[in-house]
Amino acid sequence: MAERVIPLVVERPAGRPVAVPAQPQPADGRLVDTLERPLRDLRISVTDRCNFRCSYCMPKEVFDKDYPYLPHAALLSFEEITRVARQFAAHGVRKIRLTGGEPLLRKNIEILIEQLAALRTVDGAPLDLTLTTNGSLLARKARALKDAGLHRVTVSLDGLDDAVFRTMNDVDFPVADVLAGIDAAQAAGLGLIKINMVVKRGTNDHEILPMARHFRGTGHVLRFIEYMDVGATNGWRMDEVLPSVEVIARIHAQLPLVPLEPAAPGETAQRWAYADGGGEVGVISSVTQAFCGDCNRARLSTEGQLYLCLFASQGHDLRSLIRGGASDDQLAGAIAAIWQGRADRYSQLRGQLQPDTGGGQRRVEMSYIGG
């Protein structure tokens, strides 16, 4: 078995300088990259902090009490985030997902949700406004989030067994409190609720069937995510990846499944329905079955760096442009130029690339730009 190496320093590389093109692409919702992929989905990280220490995302060995989080002044303000989001909507974005870290740790996040809920797509429709959370604060925040204009939530939950869950989050947080948050979100009308389970072979894969049985028939959508090689701190190994085909096989053997069509272009999850009508499950196979070909997502970090791939090593510095006095037209033009130059397809090329070894530039951490 390969030795696990976890770096004790997390670097945040400076973003690439962003230039304003002399003749920018019109903001008409028809922006595409070099592989003809449109821009439809924006993930916005609102904080680099989290109250969990999941080993696959923010291992305690690195993110300890002395870890240097970003100072508040470095974060984009709610008004700055909304301004950027408005330009993305003009270029065709239809969905915004707020992430972290843990986004509910960002003070007064309801104000940001209100501002984003007022934005419209190029067709005049409201944006699909969602949020991904570990669920720890959801019970107390669900009603306020809904009242502010949030449409849906996705809750990360890596097992139902309390001992397994406490081990996975590594801060001894009880699973009952997350389940209470899911119930509160449902009561508040934050549906369709999605439940994301990161599966690590030998750690929590025995929780696949209990999770499937628990959420079957609830109206929630359970999704199983292959343990990914994001960043450089989680000690990722291929032998800890349980391929999604095995996940589906385990469920199908006990609870028969039938395949479903994708819900939308660029959908990351392969969907399956219970044959008896008990709902659906999904699998996100970012390691074994690359879905780069129709990826339509951009990611904005909490300090205003625009990333074009979850596995990127460097972003584009929109914050300097925003705080340097750029007009809305200039900001929109810069975003268009960045997307038009995009050729990222890491998952398709994974087998041909050298892994992060400590030399050169490491990939950005998931806790920094969200999942």
What is the average pLDDT value for the chain, to the nearest integer? Answer: 89
pLDDT in tens, 218-271: 999 999 999 876 655 555 678 888 999 999 999 999 999 999 998 777 678 899
pLDDT (tens digit, 9 = 90+) per residue, 50-97? 999 998 888 898 899 999 999 999 999 999 999 999 999 999 999 999
**pLDDT given at position 5:** 43
| Least reliable range by pLDDT among 6-20, 315-329, 331-345 | 6-20
Domain boundaries, the chain: 41-369
pLDDT surpasses 50 at 358? no
Tokens representing 365 are 């951490």
Which overall architecture, per CATH, does domain 41-369 show? Alpha-Beta Barrel (3.20)
Q: What value does the mean pLDDT take over residues 291-300?
A: 87
Q: Which residue has the higher pLDDT, 349 or 197?
A: 197
Question: To the nearest whole percent, how much of the chain has pLDDT over 70?
Answer: 87
C-alpha–C-alpha distance, residues 53 and 37, integer Å: 35
When pLDDT is averaged across residues 130-157 and rounded to a whole number, the result is: 98
Instruction: Give this prediction's pTM.
Output: 0.90
* Residue whose token pair is 């004790």: 8
pLDDT score for 6: 44
Q: Which of 240-244, 316-320, 365-369 has the lowest mean pLDDT?
A: 365-369
Looking at the predicted structure, is the pLDDT value of residue 148 above 80? yes
Are 60 and 54 spatial neighbours (Cβ–Cβ below 8 Å)? no
| Residue 324 clears pLDDT 90, i.e. is over it | yes
Q: How many angstroms separate the CA atoms of 334 and 321, rounded?
A: 9
Q: Is the Cα dihedral 228, 232, 233, 238 positive or negative?
A: positive
Write down the pLDDT at residue 12: 64
Segment among 19-28, 90-99, 312-321 with least mean pLDDT: 19-28
User: How high is the pLDDT of residue 1?
Assistant: 41
Q: Give the position of tokens 């007022």.
A: 118
pLDDT value of position 311 = 77
DSSP-based three-state secondary structure for 197? strand
